[in-house]
Amino acid sequence: MRSAQVIAEIGCNHKGDMAIAREMIRTAARFCQVDAVKFQKRNVTELLSSEQAAAPHENPRHAYGATYGEHRDALEFTAAQHAELMQVCADEGVTYSTSVWDLTSARDMAALNPAFLKIPSASNLHFEMQAWLCQHYAGQIHVSTGMSTRQEVEEIVRFYEAQGRAADLVLYACTSGYPVEFDQLCLLDIQRLREAYGQRVGAIGFSGHHLGIAADIAALALGASWIERHFTLDRTWKGTDHAASLEPDGLRRLKRDVQNIGLALTHKPDGLLEVEQPQRRKLKWQAH
């Protein structure tokens, strides 16, 4: 059997509202039955330059503030709020995680000791942050490879090998776009990453920003052990990630299909399956 863990990437789709965040956890856990939910954590002051913070959002219709800095602040939860969300996850029987975009956020979230933390594609060359995690955080470290050259991916893997943490590294095939057209998904990169790094890292995953769920099943067949999809309660909500997100029924069907196809991805044994025996006795031609 080839199975995969399914992550509901809540990200910032909670709109900065803790009540919505709690509802999303409960829906992902109870209705969709995913394995994990994931949020995002940024220290806006550390992450953005003064010019970036003062600039308007590039898409004002999706802005939660007059400037990009105010927009990012409006969508941030404190470390204490993340601890509360982690407890909600524990109560619902689903794994909590979060992406960390900067060193301060990495330190704050590592203090919660979640099962895994994610390095987003935008921060996968932030080696100061990743070095701190390798030295002070014992859980898995998941790293997306969107916006990265093959040489940069090799550099990332070598970094974790040098840190003695490659066995804890999960490397994700990813195209950074919202949403991504099918001809830009490059699913065969999953196979390439498995061939290049399958014996060097802990696992290979797939982080998708596409429409529908067909590509995720293909990712499973190609060997992805983790499948991450953005999740929302309503794709029409304000925010740039909602358009590339799955609503509850889509995520439920994704988890169902990943589980069922995982059962189906086996070799037929040398001999007859039990289910075939009655049909063989009834239908199969034999010389007498």
- pLDDT tens by residue, 110-137: 999 999 999 999 999 999 999 999 999 9
Q: Which residues pair with 6 in a beta bridge?
A: 227
Q: So what's the pLDDT on residue 75?
A: 92
- pLDDT tens by residue, 142-194: 999 999 999 999 999 999 999 999 999 999 999 998 899 999 999 999 999 99
In the predicted model, is pLDDT for residue 288 greater than 80?
A: no
Share of the chain above pLDDT 70, in %: 99
Identify whether the C-beta of residue 7 lies closer than 8 Å to the C-beta of residue 37.
yes
- pLDDT tens by residue, 28-78: 999 999 999 999 999 989 988 889 889 888 888 888 989 988 889 899 999
**Using 50, 70 and 90 to split pLDDT, how confident is the model at 272?**
confident
Identify whether the C-beta of residue 243 lies closer than 8 Å to the C-beta of residue 179.
yes
3-state secondary structure 51-105: HHHHCCCCCHHHCCCCCHHHHHHHCCCCHHHHHHHHHHHHHHCCEEEEEECCHHH
**Residue indicated by tokens 């974790």:** 160
CATH of segment(s) 5-283: 3.20.20.70
Class of residue 171 by CB neighbours under 10 A (exposed 0-12, middle 13-18, buried 19+): buried
For the chain, the structural domain boundaries read 5-283
Identify whether the C-beta of residue 129 lies closer than 8 Å to the C-beta of residue 104.
no
Neighbours of 91 (CB within 10 A): 12
Mean local confidence (pLDDT), 260-281: 90
